[in-house]
């Protein structure tokens, strides 16, 4: 048992649901107790989804506990198949069903007899993998399922596309700025003269998965999601993949050079160096920013970075290599992929922290006292408590991290966005610091008194106590309204009764 | 709107598949830890439970909450680790860091399935640690959302002291709470204060409400000369009310049927079955019922109610004649529907997770009476609803307002159907005369939004009316 207040990566089924609901016309059925379907709430709220989240539960209740699910799961799958005609239904185990050890594979096979669409069981162990690993695995599983199906039917298209083309693998629902990143990557590919063959899983149809082998290469922008699918496609079809995250000026250039190498090896004969130069020097503002005097002021400032592998590693490199900021500690909660992270960031920071215990991370931040933090929502709150500004760079995230405006983290526009994020975090910190030195914005005493300040009315102790319970931002209004009410009635003492009577009268 | 003939037969109850969306009952820790200030809630479950709490409860997690997960790992599931030792280790840590007056263990689906004997372990550990440990099995296998509070309060009811510790003082000083209240006052004042109340047996109210609402309802009863001897739960665990055999109890929320049962069967209290004090009609009926049990003639209630209704008129104008559909997820549905029907709305369907017809009897009767008086058809009450079927019915009925969970709210809005998020009713202050306006503030919000955005032509924002 572990005492936990907060967790960075969610449980495995969240990963599976993120993949399933990213595809078009794929439905997930969770084998779960009542209340476990809050994934729908998260998707509906955070992504502000207009459509119903294609996830339902086959509810595990007392009866299921006593007698097993029996027909229930099969019936639910078949029913959903008839109601919505999805292409694929993914039966999703949860922590509860893992312990019940029902033969879910058997349910899937039985349901497949009656269902028109495909049915599969997500192969994830709840107690061994987290959200990210489960998502990676589920994506690979679905890709493999449809490649094999196409093979069996002889529907697998032959050969590659005429022009160089790419599959972008790993864009998913509830992913950090994924939608904007996807647009930016498509734009980048268009600039490079590369056709986008398929984007999976976000917005993809399972019918198109058989086309995946037609791409010249696969691009996997995020370390956490898509590598297994890319690995499978490489083993099966020899499709090479590029797994350099194009985040930051240097890494974007590195990613593009790698793409150049990969497609030239297949006879494309392209040279992107001029494009990279032009973008770096004149289009993206990030390189110019690092020369500007603004950035000079940041030199040697201390920062702490924490997040998932992709974003924490890329951010550490940007801060250290592109802006001369002193990254004291870089950390990740992806404990299962530690070696990669260490290898990526070791030369750019003083220490590396691998942990998913937020108390440990909070303590580290308190000890280091950086000028800015780049982390998740949790680090933002640590920052609030310690009065240190924080830029949010990775999940877990809240609704404000699903901006409506265009805010990619990847590609050249991404470098601009990141520059703003970093710069704003630091200047805010600086401003705060200066304000402290000079004693606040405005040191003059308030001389004008509002009507509530010189009250001629007497508040009883109870009423005063009650008033103090009213949230601060409306307390003044409640006080004023109550006193107005009392004055109008010629009362000179305000008791609890008067307070409530006033509230009823004016709706204060 | 069509005004149908009041149906001669009573309410109809249906039961669907139970495929509906609601919150897990462990969510009750989010408001109970705030209510009971010296408590610590330990949820013994998996990552799934923890993820739910941290996401559903949003920012509250950051205020150093007095709740945490005891996250079960593979070793716990396969019994490689000893439950007792593990819980002892964690509870010692909690005692050291927070020093609470009570630790509440919330049992979850997982502890049910692996049959972890929490009720058996708690007394042993309690003796060793010297901190009371209360066990509540608030799991998704058995309960929905607000029923979580019911399981916790039922467990607390057993812990209430059964004798006032100060027997040697005057007879009318019945319990310790009273003594606390009178602390520092002269004896004459106390006697004088006592005389404000009618002579009636002790009354204890149950249900967790924000402190201002507690004060408000207590005052309402005081106006009728009824004294509230205690409240379950109190602000602190150490202030749980005395419950002697023969005390009267009354519930303030419709989802507290286990607590009511526990109070009757195990504490030998007498339950006053009344409608719930939600809306001015409900509040009046609640007070009247309590008065009638104590043989008190209620004073000024009729005028009071009329006055509140008059103050609500501007909001009622917005909803009069409109229809409301409850998808059902928090058990407040019947009381809210009854209030809204009194406001002049019609209600084709009340979805509800669980319907205790005995505990809610008075409320159901008032609903029926309200429908008859307002001349509107009785709603169908659908227990364990099926959200998919409900959405088909919503498309057919085209209600003016759907009260629903967050999972369906945005998709329905995108299809031009007004929604109000049901969970807000759980957290808003909705009880008593004073808060009736707050309920209507919530109910009318989407309609007021529509008034501000009208003529923009933006009601339907999905390309094709897609399948559900």
pLDDT digits (tens, 9 = 90+) for A300-315: 899 999 999 999 999 9
- pLDDT tens for residues A391-409? 999 998 888 889 999 999 9
> Nearest-CA distance from B460 to chain A in Å?
10
Q: Which residue of A has its CA nearest to B92?
A: A3
Mean pLDDT in residue range A472-490: 80
CA dist., res. B359 & res. B250, Å (int) = 11
Closest-CA residue of B relative to A506 is B311
Residues from chain B contacting residue A508 (CB–CB below 8 Å): none
Residue A14: pLDDT above 70? yes
Tell the residue number behind the tokens 């013994």, with chain if given: B44
- pLDDT at site B296: 95
| The pLDDT of residue A450 | 43
Residue of A34, A36, A84 lying closest to B48 (CB–CB): A36
Interface contact B468-A83, CB threshold 8 A: yes
Torsion, CA A231, CA A233, CA A237, CA A243, rounded to 10: -60
Classify burial at B456, counting beta carbons within 10 Å of its beta carbon; exposed 0-12, middle 13-18, buried 19 or more: exposed
A508 or B377, which is more confident: B377
Interface test with A, best of B212, B387, B410, B417 (most A CBs within 10 A): B410
Q: Are B27 and B52 in contact (CB under 8 A)?
A: yes
Residues in chain B closer than 8 A to A398 (CB atoms) = 58-59
Q: Is A34 close to B86, i.e. CB distance below 8 A?
A: no
Mean pLDDT of B369-375: 97
> Above 60 in pLDDT, residue A439?
no
**What does the pLDDT read at residue A436?**
63
pLDDT level of residue A161 (50, 70, 90 thresholds): very high
Q: Do B406 and A466 touch (CB under 8 A)?
A: no
User: Per-residue pLDDT averaged across B56-61, rounded?
Assistant: 62
| E strand intervals along B72-164 | 102-107, 133-137
The answer, yes or no, to whether residue A66 has pLDDT greater than 90, is no
The pLDDT score that the predictor gives to residue A433 is 65
CB contact under 8 A, B46 and A5: no
Does residue A458 have a pLDDT over 90?
no
Residue B402: its H or E element? strand B401-404
pLDDT band at B191 (very low <50, low <70, confident <90, very high): low
- Given a cut of 90, is residue B467 above it in pLDDT? no
Instruction: With beta carbons less than 8 A apart as the criterion, state whether B346 and B380 touch.
Output: no
User: What local confidence, expressed as pLDDT, does residue B78 receive?
Assistant: 85
Per-residue buried b or exposed e for B9-46, using 16+ beta carbons within 10 Å of the residue's own CB: eebeeeebbbbbbbbbbbbbbbbbbbbbeebbbbbbbb
pLDDT at A469: 79
pLDDT of res. B412: 95
Residue A154 annotated as part of some ligand binding site: no
Extract the tokens encoding A466: 């009650």
Task: Give the sheet arrangement for strand A195-201, strand by strand.
Answer: A195-201, A165-171, A217-219, A241-242
CB contact under 8 A, A3 and B70: yes
pLDDT for residue A35: 87
pLDDT band at A63 (very low <50, low <70, confident <90, very high): confident
Q: How many CA atoms, within 13 angstroms, populate the side-chain half-sphere of residue A73?
A: 33
pLDDT of residue A466: 85
Tokens for A384? 């609030």
Dump pLDDT digits (tens) for A231-244.
Answer: 999 999 999 999 99
pLDDT band at A452 (very low <50, low <70, confident <90, very high): very low
**Among A217, A221, A213, A265, CA closest to A243:** A221
* Average pLDDT of span A480-492: 85
Instruction: Inspect the interface and report whether the beta carbons of B434 and A94 lie closer than 8 Å.
Output: no
What was the ipTM of the complex prediction? 0.87
With beta carbons under 8 A apart, name residues in chain B contacting A471: none
- The alpha carbon of residue A377 is apart from the nearest alpha carbon of chain B, in Å, by 10
Determine the pLDDT at residue B43: 95
Q: What is the pLDDT of residue B60?
A: 56
pLDDT score of B171 more than 50: no
Q: Which chain A residues are within 8 Å of B388, Cβ to Cβ? A: 56, 83
Pairwise CB contact (< 8 Å): B139 & A33: yes
Q: Which tokens is A164 given?
A: 């160089």
Question: Is residue A178's pLDDT more than 70?
Answer: yes
Which residues of chain B make contact with A15, given a CB cutoff of 8 A?
Answer: none
Whether residue B102 contacts residue B134, with contact meaning beta carbons closer than 8 Å, is answered with yes
**In the prediction, which pLDDT does B274 show?**
97
Mean pLDDT of the A424-444 span: 64
Q: What is the pLDDT of residues B222-269, one digit of tens each?
A: 999 999 999 999 999 999 999 999 999 999 999 999 999 999 999 999
At A97, the pLDDT band (50, 70, 90 cuts) reads: confident
Average pLDDT, chain B: 89
> Would you place residue A444 in the very low, low, confident or very high pLDDT band (cuts 50, 70, 90)?
very low
Instruction: Give the gap in angstroms from C-alpha B308 to the nearest C-alpha of chain A.
Output: 7
B110 closest CB neighbour out of A48, A56, A96: A96
Chain A residues near residue B409 by CB distance under 8 angstroms: 44
Catalytic residues of A: 294
| Cβ-based contacts of A482 with chain B (< 8 Å) | none
pLDDT band per the 50, 70, 90 thresholds, residue B362: very high
Any known ligand binding at A439? no
Q: What percent of chain B has pLDDT over 70?
A: 89
**Each residue's pLDDT tens digit, B303-335:** 999 999 999 999 999 999 999 999 999 999 999
Mean pLDDT for A145-151 is 96
Q: What is the pLDDT of residue A457?
A: 79
Averaged over B345-353, what is the pLDDT?
97
Nearest chain B residue to A72 by CA distance is B17
Confidence of residue A144 (pLDDT cuts 50, 70, 90): very high
Nearest to A33 among B69, B71, B141 (CB): B141
Q: How does residue B176 score in pLDDT terms, banded at 50, 70 and 90?
A: low
> Does position A218 have pLDDT exceeding 70, yes or no?
yes
Angstrom distance (rounded) from CA A375 to CA A393: 5
Q: What is the pLDDT of residue B240?
A: 95
- Of B47, B77, B86, which has the smallest distance from its Cβ to A7's Cβ? B47
Alpha-carbon distance B7 to nearest alpha carbon in chain A (angstroms) = 34
Asked if B21 lies within 8 A of A466 by C-beta distance, the reply is no
Percent of chain A residues topping a pLDDT of 90: 68
Q: What pLDDT does residue B12 have?
A: 92
How far away is chain B from the Cα of A45, in angstroms, using its nearest Cα?
Answer: 7
| Contact assignment for B24 to A6 by CB distance below 8 Å | no
pLDDT over threshold 50, residue A447: no
Model confidence band, residue A131 (pLDDT cutoffs 50, 70, 90): very high
CB contact under 8 A, B24 and A127: no
- By C-alpha distance, the chain B residue nearest A47 is B410
The alpha helices in A200-350, defined as continuous H runs, are 227-237, 249-264, 273-278, 286-291, 293-296, 309-317, 323, 338-345
* pLDDT higher than threshold 60 for residue B180: no
**Integer Cα distance of A466 and A464 in angstroms:** 5
pLDDT in tens, B125-170: 999 999 999 999 999 999 999 999 999 999 999 999 988 766 444 4
Mean pLDDT throughout A344-359?
A: 94
Least confident window among A17-26, A88-97, A460-469: A460-469
Is A36 marked as binding a ligand? yes
Inter-chain residue contact A3 with B77, CB threshold 8 Å:
no
Residues A325-346 pLDDT 10s: 999 999 999 999 999 999 999 9
Residue of B nearest to A467 (CA): B212
Report how many Cβ contacts below 8 Å link chain A to chain B: 185
Judge contact between B112 and B137, C-beta under 8 A: yes
Query: Across all residues in chain A, what is the average pLDDT?
Result: 90
Which of A41, A94, A400 to probe the B interface (max B CBs under 10 A)?
Answer: A41
Nearest CA in chain B to A6: B54
Quickly state the pLDDT bin for A453 (edges 50, 70, 90): very low
């Amino acid at each position: 048992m572990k005492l936990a207040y907060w967790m960075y990566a969610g449980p495995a089924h969240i990963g599976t649901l993120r993949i399933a609901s990213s595809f078009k016309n794929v439905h997930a059925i969770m084998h779960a107790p009542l209340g476990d379907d809050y994934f729908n709430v998260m998707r509906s709220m955070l992504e502000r989804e207009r459509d119903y989240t294609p996830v339902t539960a086959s509810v595990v209740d007392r009866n299921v506990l006593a007698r097993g699910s029996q027909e229930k799961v099969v019936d639910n799958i078949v029913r959903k198949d008839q109601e919505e005609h999805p292409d694929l239904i993914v039966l999703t185990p949860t922590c509860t069903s893992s312990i019940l050890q029902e033969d879910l594979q058997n349910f899937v096979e039985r349901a497949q007899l009656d269902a028109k669409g495909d049915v599969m069981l997500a192969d994830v162990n709840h107690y061994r993998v987290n959200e990210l690993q489960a998502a990676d695995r589920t994506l690979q599983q679905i890709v493999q399922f449809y490649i094999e199906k196409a093979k069996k039917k002889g529907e697998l298209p032959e050969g590659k596309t005429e022009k160089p083309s790419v599959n972008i693998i790993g864009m998913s629902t509830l992913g950090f700025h994924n939608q904007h990143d996807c647009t930016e990557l498509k734009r980048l590919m268009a600039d490079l003269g590369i056709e986008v063959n398929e984007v999976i899983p976000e917005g993809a149809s399972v019918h198109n998965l058989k086309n995946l082998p037609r791409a010249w290469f696969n691009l996997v922008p995020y370390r956490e999601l898509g590598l297994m699918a890319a690995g499978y496609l490489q083993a099966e079809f020899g499709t090479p993949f590029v797994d350099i995250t194009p985040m930051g000026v240097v890494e974007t250039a590195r990613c593009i050079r790698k793409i150049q190498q990969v497609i030239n090896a297949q006879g494309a004969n392209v040279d992107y160096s001029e494009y990279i130069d032009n973008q770096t020097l004149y289009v993206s503002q990030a390189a110019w920013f690092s020369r500007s005097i603004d950035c000079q002021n940041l030199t040697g400032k201390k920062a702490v970075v924490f997040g998932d592998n992709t974003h924490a590693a890329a951010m550490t490199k940007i801060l250290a290599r592109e802006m001369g900021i002193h990254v004291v500690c870089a950390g990740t909660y992806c404990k299962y992929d530690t070696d990669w992270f260490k290898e990526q960031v070791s030369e750019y920071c003083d220490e590396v922290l691998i942990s998913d215990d937020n108390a440990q991370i909070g303590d580290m931040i308190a000890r280091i006292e950086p000028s800015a933090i780049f982390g998740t929502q949790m680090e933002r709150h640590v920052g609030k408590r310690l009065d240190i500004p924080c830029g949010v760079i990775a999940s877990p995230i809240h609704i404000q991290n699903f901006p409506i405006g265009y805010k990619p983290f990847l590609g050249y526009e991404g470098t601009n966005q990141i520059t703003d994020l970093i710069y704003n975090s630091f200047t805010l910190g600086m401003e705060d610091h200066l304000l402290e030195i000079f004693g606040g914005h405005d040191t003059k005493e308030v001389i004008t008194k509002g009507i509530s300040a010189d009250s001629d009315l007497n508040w009883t102790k109870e009423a005063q106590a009650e008033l103090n319970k009213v949230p601060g931002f409306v307390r003044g209004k409640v006080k004023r309204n109550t006193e107005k009410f009392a004055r109008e009635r010629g009362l000179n003492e305000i008791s609890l009764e008067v307070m409530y009577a006033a509230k009823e009268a004016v709706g204060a | 709107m069509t005004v149908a003939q009041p149906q001669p037969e009573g309410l109809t109850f249906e039961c669907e598949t139970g495929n509906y969306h609601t919150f897990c009952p462990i969510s009750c820790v989010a408001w109970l830890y705030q209510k009971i200030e010296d408590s610590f809630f330990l949820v013994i479950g998996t990552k799934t439970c923890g993820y739910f709490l941290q996401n559903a409860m949003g920012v509250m997690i950051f205020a150093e909450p007095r709740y945490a997960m005891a996250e079960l790992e593979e070793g716990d599931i396969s019994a490689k680790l000893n439950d007792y030792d593990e819980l002892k280790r964690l509870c010692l840590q909690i005692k050291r860091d927070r020093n609470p007056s009570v630790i509440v263990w919330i049992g979850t689906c997982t502890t049910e399935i692996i049959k972890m004997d929490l009720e058996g372990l708690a007394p042993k550990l309690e003796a060793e640690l010297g901190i009371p440990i209360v066990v509540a099995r608030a799991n998704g296998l058995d309960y929905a959302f607000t029923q979580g509070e019911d399981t916790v309060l039922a467990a607390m009811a057993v812990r209430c002291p059964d004798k006032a510790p100060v027997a040697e003082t005057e007879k009318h000083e019945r319990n310790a709470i009273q003594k606390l209240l009178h602390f520092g006052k002269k004896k004459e004042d106390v006697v004088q204060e006592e005389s404000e109340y009618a002579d009636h047996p002790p009354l204890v109210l149950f249900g967790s409400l924000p402190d201002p609402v507690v004060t408000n309802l207590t005052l309402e009863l005081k106006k009728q000369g009824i004294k509230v001897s205690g409240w379950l739960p109190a602000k602190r665990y150490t202030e749980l009310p005395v419950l002697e055999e023969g005390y009267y109890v009354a519930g303030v929320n419709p989802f507290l049927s286990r607590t009511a049962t526990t109070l009757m069967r195990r504490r030998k209290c007498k339950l006053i079955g009344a409608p719930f004090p939600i809306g001015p009609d409900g509040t009046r009926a609640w007070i009247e019922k309590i008065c009638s049990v104590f043989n008190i003639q209620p004073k000024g209630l009729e005028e009071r109610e009329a006055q509140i209704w008059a103050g609500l008129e501007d909001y009622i104008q917005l909803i009069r004649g409109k229809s409301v559909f409850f998808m059902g997820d928090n058990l407040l549905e019947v009381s809210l529907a009854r209030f809204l029907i009194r406001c002049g709305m019609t209600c084709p369907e009340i979805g509800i997770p669980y319907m205790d017809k005995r505990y809610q009897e008075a409320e159901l009767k008032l609903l029926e009476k309200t429908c008859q008086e307002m001349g509107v058809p009785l709603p169908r009450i659908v227990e364990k609803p099926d959200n998919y079927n409900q959405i088909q019915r919503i498309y057919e009925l085209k209600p003016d307002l759907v009260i629903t969970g967050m999972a369906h709210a945005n998709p329905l809005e995108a299809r031009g159907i007004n929604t109000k998020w049901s969970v807000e009713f759980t957290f808003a202050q909705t009880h008593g005369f004073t808060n009736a306006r707050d309920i209507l503030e919530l109910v009318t919000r989407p309609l007021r939004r529509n008034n501000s955005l009208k003529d923009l032509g933006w009601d339907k924002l999905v390309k094709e009316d897609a399948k559900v």
